[in-house]
Amino acid sequence: MRREIAMLGLLLFASVAGAGERGKASAVLLPVPDDATVTMSIWFKAGSQNDPAGKEGLAYLTGAMLSQGGTKNNKYDDILKKLYPLASSYEIRVDKEMTTFGGRTHRDNFTKFSGLFADAYLRPAFSQDDFDRLKSDQINYLKNTLRYASDEELAKAAFHWFVFQGTPYQYAPEGTVQALESITLEDVKAFYAQYFTRDNAVVALGGGFNKDAQAAFEKSVQSLPAGKPTPVPAPQPKAIRGRQVLLVSKPNADCTISFGCPVDVQRGMKDFYALWIANSWLGEHRNSSSHLYQVIRETRGLNYGDYSYIEAFPEAGGRRQPPANVGRRKQAFEVWIRTLPNAKGHFALRAAMREIKDLCDNGMTQEEFDLTRSFLSKYVLHFAETTSMRLGYAVDDQFYGLDKSHLEQFRTMMAQLTLADVNNAIRKHLQYENLKIVMVTGDAENLKTALAADAPSPIQYDSEKPAAILEADKQISTFPLGIAAENIQIVPVESVFEK
């Protein structure tokens, strides 16, 4: 209990200098005197949504040039050599709406590190060699890594492309192959000049820093040029009519599924926290007691795991907790069915859809609500266990315009929400009739035929199963999906993220 109280205090202790509307804060401060390290972060209010048409991937490439390129004072190899004895590093995250440049060092090394850190965003060299190297790396990521190294990341990226088609959210932050090929070094310089300004930046500092370090950091950011870019309107995805399927045909691939729809909930809203309870019960990330996991993985052993989300969760395959600094004004409800044999993909989709329908139609029970709420009231303590993560959440609070921190509201709402609140939020925000479904598969033509015909999808096991499971399987195997043939399209994997 003592550790829990101490951790809660750290979660909530963040001050904001100059707070106001979204993005108006001049500094986010999280002093932790006992922390021997200092975390520095700058949120630039731009991201892939700001990419000009035909230049998708420009924001990401510009960020890479700052974090993995040389400066006017040091080549990139020399920067790495200077960072090594400091046991320090800096990196950048470019998401749809946020570009967050951050680093961490021991407080005894602050002066040396902060000089290198400031050089990166104040004095980038923008050399042709760095540009060619990083542009090639980014194209290679799209053409090879994202398409061929992980079907799970491929399915999730394709899902967001499918759901947000026609909006600035459509493309992965890395962009598209053809757009990247058209980007020039001058494009990068122009993007940097437009968006990396002091009027477009919020600084954040956490850990064992002193007032001199704070003053030096804030002063360095003020050295950026003035300039306030025109805001980009929030994305408005087209309404989904019926169940629409995108089959990514990948030779020799097993089946990986992501499906869902946009939702109008954000941090700070009562319905967001109510819906989080429902989502946690349904498919809390990496939680083996959640419902979808029990139905698909634990009981039937079809795959490694099955989860669901109500806000962006990139890098899900390599993370246990939600990442910071991926704030978005439009979110999606997403169900992620991890890789399983092609012969079982149709059945797994039906099994998941059947559970979504049951949740939407009937809501949660009192027992399910009580257990999940109790779990979440403690589990939230693990969302931000380090100073760096707590600082990231504090920056996100500024993005969402929250006067009371998200982590504090989370625990408060867990104590206040009722079963009726949760079931009302389910009815209001979740549905199963109008969805977009992405399936990466090595058997696209046969799967399209089966989906269009709503053909039964009986399942075979390698080991004996209880009679109750086999009886439920009969119902699942004929659960009607009602997907019209014209709503099913097949795309070859080599064309995904091409243009």
> Which domains does the chain possess?
32-222 (3.30.830.10), 243-495 (3.30.830.10)
In this structure, what token pair is assigned to residue 31? 């002093």
- CA nearest 279: which of 426, 418, 157? 426
DSSP class per residue in 349-375: HHHHHHHHHHHHHH---HHHHHHHHHH
Task: Please report which confidence band the pLDDT of residue 138 belongs to, taking 50, 70 and 90 as the band edges.
Answer: very high
Strand order in the sheet with 15-17: 15-17, 27-31, 201-207, 37-44, 99-106, 89-94
User: Helix, strand, or coil here: 436?
Assistant: strand
Task: Please report which confidence band the pLDDT of residue 26 belongs to, taking 50, 70 and 90 as the band edges.
Answer: low
Task: Please report which confidence band the pLDDT of residue 9 belongs to, taking 50, 70 and 90 as the band edges.
Answer: very low
Q: Give the Cα separation of 437 and 248 in Å (integer).
A: 11
The distance in angstroms from the start CA to the end CA of the chain is: 54
**Residue 109, CB-side half-sphere exposure with 13 Å CA sphere:** 20
Q: Give the Cα separation of 313 and 321 in Å (integer).
A: 9
pLDDT averaged over the chain?
Answer: 94
The pLDDT value given to residue 4: 39
What Cα–Cα distance (Å) separates residue 474 from each residue in 253, 350, 408, 444, 479? 27, 11, 45, 24, 9
The answer to whether the beta carbons of residues 410 and 393 sit under 8 Å apart is no
The answer to whether the beta carbons of residues 121 and 71 sit under 8 Å apart is no
User: Helix, strand, or coil here: 443?
Assistant: coil
- b vs e for 287-320, b when ≥16 Cβ sit within 10 Å of the residue's Cβ? beebbbbebbbeebebbebbbbbbbbbbebeeee
In this structure, what token pair is assigned to residue 144? 């090879």
Q: Give the Cα separation of 416 and 421 in Å (integer).
A: 10
Q: Give the Cα separation of 135 and 187 in Å (integer).
A: 12
User: Helix, strand, or coil here: 22?
Assistant: coil
Task: Please report which confidence band the pLDDT of residue 40 belongs to, taking 50, 70 and 90 as the band edges.
Answer: very high
Q: Please, is 377 exposed, middle or buried when counting C-beta atoms within 10 Å of its C-beta (0-12, 13-18, 19+)? A: middle
The answer to whether the beta carbons of residues 344 and 459 sit under 8 Å apart is yes
Q: Give the Cα separation of 219 and 443 in Å (integer).
A: 58
pTM here is: 0.94
Task: Please report which confidence band the pLDDT of residue 41 belongs to, taking 50, 70 and 90 as the band edges.
Answer: very high
Partner residues linked to 104 by β-bridges: 39, 89
Could you say which DSSP state residue 248 is in? E
Q: Give the Cα separation of 368 and 366 in Å (integer).
A: 6
The pLDDT value given to residue 21: 40
Q: What is the mean pLDDT of residues 435-449?
A: 98
User: Helix, strand, or coil here: 480?
Assistant: coil
The pLDDT value given to residue 12: 46
More confident residue, 61 or 12: 61
pLDDT tens figures, 235-246? 999 999 999 999
Q: Give the Cα separation of 454 and 469 in Å (integer).
A: 22
The pLDDT value given to residue 6: 40
Could you say which DSSP state residue 233 is in? P
* Residue corresponding to tokens 């999940």: 372
pLDDT tens figures, 55-105? 999 999 999 999 999 999 999 999 999 999 999 999 999 999 999 999 999
